[in-house]
Amino acid sequence: MLPRPTNVAMGREPKSKRGGASRLTMQDIARLANVSTPTVSRVLNGSPLVTEETRERVLEVARAHGYAVNRNAQKLRHARTNTVAVVLDFGSHRHGAIGDPFIFELLAGVSEALSIRNQDLLLSPPGLDDARAFRDFFQARGADGFIVLGQGTRDAMLRSLARENLPLVVWGAVASDAGYCAVGSDNLAGGKLAAQHFLAQGRKRWLFLGDTRHEELRLRYEGLKLGAAGHSDVSIELLSIPSMAFTATGDAVTSYLAQGGGPDAVFAFSDTAAMAAIGSFRARGLTAPKDFSLVGYNNIPPTAHFSPAITTIDQKTDVAGALLVEKLMQRIDGGRPQSVTLPTRMVVRET
């Protein structure tokens, strides 16, 4: 049973109960629960140095009076913010609008893994456009570290941040000399798988869709060329598309076809790009797989239900989010986590 505090017995309830003049403080809780203020602090911070009886008494008083822990103030009293900034590659998409479901699958995995660790997620803080902005944000204790979803064309900047010892982990291409920890699929192998598919279909005129300034896409292109090695009758053309947006991809393919392009095989940098390409070919009366073979990348759920169902390269996104968070936590704790290359596999469908 709760002891009756003196100030309540004398009719002096905490200010928060007298017309809301001010919010209930830890000192109020301490008086009401007949404990010291440090004891209240220990209870609210989950310290094991408090008996279960005292913990329950303090929490019952706090609940009865609607006391809520100010998490921001609590974070400032600790060495860490318990916040991770997740940075998306808005620059690779027209008008900064990301419409690729694959990114959101990754984001969902990261969010779930952070939630399990009781970490807050801060999504793409504004202004993180260069290395200085990342440094300033970290030094201002905006977050304990960064998870970057997509290298885009920022590899040089990320290498610079790694040299300055900023805690970050990147979803993207894995390179032994990058200096930062990356988690990503085997893009080179993915390109080789696409080549094997085209060769099995007897295709000779191949088109790669994608901006090879992105390391992931460059490796896929290189894998495609390696897969064609030894087949002198195969030609490979590159159609570089600076924006990853669906409409931009469709417009680029439409323009390419209008200028006389006539591939019989297309390897697209993503499944959404593959869908855009199919629309552009269809507008000219060309359909897959009759007129051309097509391979996408990522194996997002709509590919199985699209018409025609899209052959694609599958990445292990089911484990990617957990790996990214695990690697970042190791980095924040002072470790040197190793990069991880996830396996890829071909999912053959109608195209």
pLDDT score at 9: 33
Whether the CB-CB separation of 30 and 1 falls below 8 Å is answered with no
pLDDT score at 339: 96
Within a domain: residue 262?
yes
- Domain boundary (45, 69, 93) is at 69
pLDDT score at 192: 98
Write out pLDDT tens, residues 200-236: 999 999 999 999 999 999 999 999 999 999 999 999 9
pLDDT score at 23: 65
Write out pLDDT tens, residues 121-140: 999 887 888 999 999 999 88
- Total H helices, total E strands in the chain: 13, 12
d(C-alpha 90, C-alpha 124), whole Å: 9
Within a domain: residue 106?
yes
Total tally of structural domains belonging to the chain = 3
pLDDT score at 28: 87
Angle, CA 134 vertex, CA 129 and CA 136 arms, to 5°: 120
Instruction: Give one DSSP letter per residue of 219-277, joined into a string.
Output: HHHHHHHHHHTT-TT-EEEEE--S---HHHHHHHHHHHHHTT---SEEEESSHHHHHHH
Q: Is the peptide bond before 289 cis (omega within 30 degrees of 0)?
A: yes
Question: Residue ranges of the chain with pLDDT lower than 50?
Answer: 1-21, 76, 95-96
- Domain boundary (69, 91, 118) is at 69
pLDDT score at 72: 56
Within a domain: residue 88?
yes
Whether the CB-CB separation of 157 and 130 falls below 8 Å is answered with yes
Q: What range does the domain containing 148 cover?
A: 83-185+317-341
d(C-alpha 179, C-alpha 163), whole Å: 7
Within a domain: residue 77?
no
